[in-house]
Amino acid sequence: MVLTNGNEIFNNARKGKYAVGAFNINDLEWTRGILAAAQETNTPILVQTSMGAAKYMGGYELCLHLVQDTIKSMGITVPVVMHLDHGNYEAAKECIEVGYNSVMFDGHDLPFDENLEKTKEIVKLAHAKGMSVEAEVGSIGGTEDGITGAGELADVEEAKTLAATGVDYLAVGIGNIHGVYPENWQGLNFDRLQELAAEISTPLVLHGGSGIPKEQIVKAISMGISKVNVNTELQLSFAKATREYIEAGHDQDVNAKGYDPRKLLAPGTKAITDTTKERIEWFGTPSI
């Protein structure tokens, strides 16, 4: 079975001190680009939809079918986890209902007790159907899907309490930021990561995986990060490849003569594959 929950994959990653990448999809091209990278490297992968991307594409059920059918039509054989990224309570419940393999319930903006109670509920619902759950402690900085977090460091006691709910992976704030990192960014807080990893055996998740220098990512993985999320880097590489294609004289694919997505979007799709493959290599994900 290609689609699977993430439990075995991420527990093995934590034990083996490598990470598995979680890449955001926004359309058919991204889906194909990311799945091609997983197949070409023969590694497991996590394909995730934010609430905004799912809304754009037509809903969670459509996204699940898109991934399922693309897996089939491309002949993908590596394990793929279909995951909800940064879901609120309603979105997490809907994705469990629809049949995702894994959901993130992001309750970081709720009072901690409410985050805890709702996380417990989502864990119960998801586990009853064999699905995995990611929770978040300490807000991740930057803006994702219009939600801006202040970028606090995860509190170790709160992280322990959330981990004890039985979540399968835990997103921790360690100075990471969604989107492009500012010039004056201080880097990842390895002291806090060490404290968290010493107390919590649950696989830990690093959001905001774009723009962090490779050495810092590699170090974080060696200390207990088992899942790294990447979105912005894919957006940037898609945009760059498309721009270069047009500037190289292919503007006839998008002018008065019409718009041919099959030509115009091909370089971007290839760039998504190349960027995903590069990240898989950074994360040390072993082939299966």
Residues that bind ligand 13P (CB under 6 A): 24, 85-86, 144, 178-179, 207-210, 229-233
Smaller CB separation from ligand 13P, 43 or 49 = 49
Active site residue 251: no
Closest separation in Å from C-beta 235 to ligand 13P: 7
Structure tokens belonging to residue 233: 């880097």
The nearer residue to ligand 13P, 253 or 274, going by C-beta atoms, is 274
Compute the least distance from the CB of residue 266 to ligand 13P, in Å.
Answer: 23
Given the residues 27, 85, 113, 251, select the one marked as catalytic. 85
Minimum CB distance to ligand 13P smaller for 149 or for 261 = 149
CA-closest candidate to residue 179, choices 222, 133, 145, 138: 145
Q: Which is nearer to ligand 13P, 96 or 172 (CB)?
A: 172
Helix axes 232-245, 28-41, angle to 10 degrees: 110
The string over 264-278, giving b where at least 16 C-beta atoms fall within 10 Å of a residue's C-beta and e elsewhere, is bbbbbbbbbbbbbbe
CB of 232 to ligand 13P, least distance (A): 3
Least Å from the CB of residue 25 to ligand 13P = 11
User: Mind telling me the catalytic residues?
Assistant: 85
